[in-house]
Structure 1
Amino acid sequence: MTVRIKVVNPNTSAAMTRGIHGAALAVAAPGTTIESTSPAMGPASIESHYDEALSVPGVLAEVAEGERSGVDGYVLACFGDPGLDAARELAAGPVVGIAEAAMRTATYLGRTFTVVTTLARTRGRAWDLVERYGVTKFCAGVHDVDIPVLELDQDPDTLEKLTEACASALARDGADAVVLGCAGMADLCADLTKALGAPVVDGVRAATLQVQSLVAMALTTNKHGEYAAPLPKAYSGLLHPFTTSPG
Structure 2
Amino acid sequence: MTRITVINPNTARAMTAAIGARARAVAAPPTTVTAVSPAMGPESIESHYDEALAVPGVLAEIAAGERDGVDGYVIACFGDPGLDAARELASGPVVGIAEAAMHAATLLGRGFSVVTTLSRTAGRAWDLAHRYGFAAACRGVHACDIPVLELDGDGARETVAALCARAVEADGSDTVVLGCAGMAAYCDEIAREAGVPVIDGVGAATALVESLVRLGLRTSVRGEYAPPGPKRYSGLLQPFTIPGAV
Q: Give SS of 2:224's match.
A: coil
Alignment of 1:134-173 (within 5 A): 134-153=133-152, 155-173=153-171
- Determine the structure 1 residue equivalent to 2:91: 92
Report deviation, 1:197. 1.1
Structure 1 gaps, min length 5: none
Equivalent in the alignment of 2:190: 192
Asked whether the 8 Å contact 2:231–2:244 carries over to 1, the reply is no
- The aligned residue for residue 122 of structure 1 is 121
2-structure distance, mates of 1:224, 1:189: 37
Amino acid at match of 1:140: R
1:163 is displaced (CA, Å) by 1.1
1:246 Cα offset (Å): 3.8
* Alignment length (residue pairs): 245
Indicate the RMSD between aligned Cα atoms, in angstroms: 0.9
For residues 174-207 of structure 1, give each alpha carbon's deviation from its aligned partner in whole angstroms, at most 9, with x where no partner exists: 0010000000000110000001111000000000
- 1:234: how far off? 0.3
Give the drift of 1:46.
Answer: 0.1
| 1:224, distance to aligned residue in structure 2 (A) | 2.2
Which residue is equivalent to 1:4?
3
Q: Which runs of 4+ in 1 moved over 6 A?
A: none
Q: TM-score, normalised by structure 1?
A: 0.98
Q: Give the Cα–Cα distance (whole angstroms) in 2 for the partners of residues 170 and 139 of structure 1.
A: 12
State the Cα distance separating 1:159 from its structure 2 match.
Answer: 1.2
Residue of structure 1 equivalent to 2:76: 77
Structure 1 residue 65 and structure 2 residue 44: aligned?
no
CA positional deviation for 1:225: 1.1
Secondary structure, aligned partner of 1:107: helix
Partner secondary structure for residue 189 of structure 1: helix
Matches within 5 A, 1:33-44: 33-44=32-43
Aligned residue in 2 for 1:237: 235
Structure 2, unpaired ranges of 5+: none
Amino acid of the residue matched to residue 138 of structure 2? C
> Structure 1 CA distance, aligned partners of 2:198 and 2:222?
37
Alignment partner of 2:32: what SS? Answer: strand
